[in-house]
Amino acid sequence: MTDLARYRPRGTAEIQLPCPDLAPALDYFVGQLGFRIETIFPADDPTTASLSGHGLRLRLAPGEGEPGLIRLPCESLPAEDERVLIAPNGTRIVLVAADASFSMPALAPEFVLSRAAEAESGPGRAGMRYRDLIPSRLGGRYIASHITLPEGGPVADWVHFHKVHAQMIFCRRGWALLVYEDQGEPFLFSVGDCVLQPPLIRHRVLETSPGFEVVEVSSPALHETLADHDMALPTGRLDPARDFGGQIFHHGRAAATPWTAHGDTGFEVRDVGLSGASGGRISAEVLRPAAKDHLAIAARNVEFLLGFVLSGAASLAYQGHHGLAGADAFVIPPGEVWGLEHASKDLEFLLVTAPA
Ligand SMILES: [Fe+2]
C-alpha cells in the first residue's frame, strides 16, 4: 500500500468528472448550479476547469469515465420527479433535503421472542457486539439491541449524534464513562441506570468496564448516526433543562431510585424516569417479584412493549408458555393481555414501552 503521508498531500483535493465539451458544462455548473471557477486552462481554448461550490471542489476535464452523481442538500425540494438534474456532461445532480431527519414507518405489530442462547451477535460500530432483539423491526418503527463490549478500556468512539424520535439505553452489566453535550463532566453509567438520549444531543462513550452490557431501544429503526468533528466534549456547560426537540437529557440512576409497589400486583417497580424527560415518547421501568411469583398485565394503550430479562427466570404467559432466562427478550403486540409465572426470586426484568 502506498504510504501517502510520505508524499505530504497538500492543497485542495478535487473530484474529476469527464467533460468532453467544457463551454456548455461550465455555463451550467456556474450559471445554474452556482459553482464558481477556481482555475481554467488553456486560456485560448479552455478544456479543463476547476470549480468550487456547495462545499465541493470539482475538476471538469476531457476524458473517459462515469459522469458521476452529486447529492446537493436543499432547504426545500421540487416535486419528486424533478429532483434529478442532468448537466451537459452527463453528471447527475440529485436534490436532497438539507436536514432529512427520519421517516416513521407504520407499525407492523407482532409477538417476538428472542432467546439469548440462540442468538448471534454481529459486529457494530466502535467495536461493540450487537444482538438484534426484534429482527422484523416491527415494520421499521422500532429497533432494540442487546449490545455488549467484551473487552473493557477506552472506546474508539467519537462525538456523534442520532436523528431519532426516541432513544434510550439501559445498563445491564458493568459500567461506562459517558459524556453528553451541555450535561457537565463525564459520568459513570452503571448497572440499572438508564439514559434518555434526546434527538441530536452530541455524546460519546469514553471508556467501559470489561463485559459492559446495555439494552438500547430506538425509534425509528433506521436512523442516521452523524459525527460532529467540531464539538469537543465536555462542553464546559451544564444545562440539564436544555430542550432537544421537546425532550431533555436524563440519567436515571438505579442507586437513587427506590423500589415501590407495582400497584397491587405483588411486584415491585423501579421507574428510571424516562417518560417525563422524553415528553411521553418512551418509558422504562424495572420490575421484580415481591409478595407474588406471578404477574398479570392488563391490556395497555401502548404501541410498543419490550420485556428483557435482566436476571433470574420466569415463564412468559402469552399464546402459551415460554420459559425465559437471563437476556431473553420479548415483544407483546399492542392491546394484548400477558403475564409472567413462576418468577424466580431473583427475577428482574426491564420493561420498555411507548404510548400508542
Ligand atoms: Fe450514540
**Distance between Cα 230 and ligand 1 center (Å):** 16
**Distance between Cα 149 and ligand 1 center (Å):** 14
- Give residue 320's pLDDT: 95
Local confidence band at 128 (pLDDT 50, 70, 90 cut-offs)? confident
160's CB contacts (< 8 A; 6+ apart) are 202, 203, 204, 225, 226, 227, 228
Residues 189-248: tens digit of each pLDDT: 999 999 999 999 999 999 999 999 999 999 999 998 899 999 999 999 999 999 999 999
Identify whether the C-beta of residue 116 lies closer than 8 Å to the C-beta of residue 326.
yes
Identify whether the C-beta of residue 225 lies closer than 8 Å to the C-beta of residue 169.
no
**Distance between Cα 251 and ligand 1 center (Å):** 14
Cα dist from 334 to 47, 137, 238, 306, whole Å: 64, 15, 39, 11
**Distance between Cα 158 and ligand 1 center (Å):** 9
pTM of the model: 0.83
- Give residue 43's pLDDT: 85
- pLDDT at 11 exceeding the cut of 80: yes
Identify whether the C-beta of residue 125 lies closer than 8 Å to the C-beta of residue 155.
no
**Distance between Cα 160 and ligand 1 center (Å):** 6
Alpha-carbon gap, residue 291 to 295, rounded angstroms: 11
- Give residue 334's pLDDT: 94
- pLDDT at 122 exceeding the cut of 70: no
Mean pLDDT, residues 105-130 taken together:
82
**Distance between Cα 202 and ligand 1 center (Å):** 8
Residues 250-288: tens digit of each pLDDT: 999 999 999 999 999 999 999 988 999 999 999 999 999
**Distance between Cα 165 and ligand 1 center (Å):** 14
**Distance between Cα 59 and ligand 1 center (Å):** 37
Q: Which three cell numbers stand for residue 336?
A: 394484548
- Give residue 271's pLDDT: 93
Local confidence band at 80 (pLDDT 50, 70, 90 cut-offs)? confident
**Distance between Cα 36 and ligand 1 center (Å):** 38
- Give residue 140's pLDDT: 95
- pLDDT at 100 exceeding the cut of 70: no
% residues pLDDT > 70 (the chain): 97
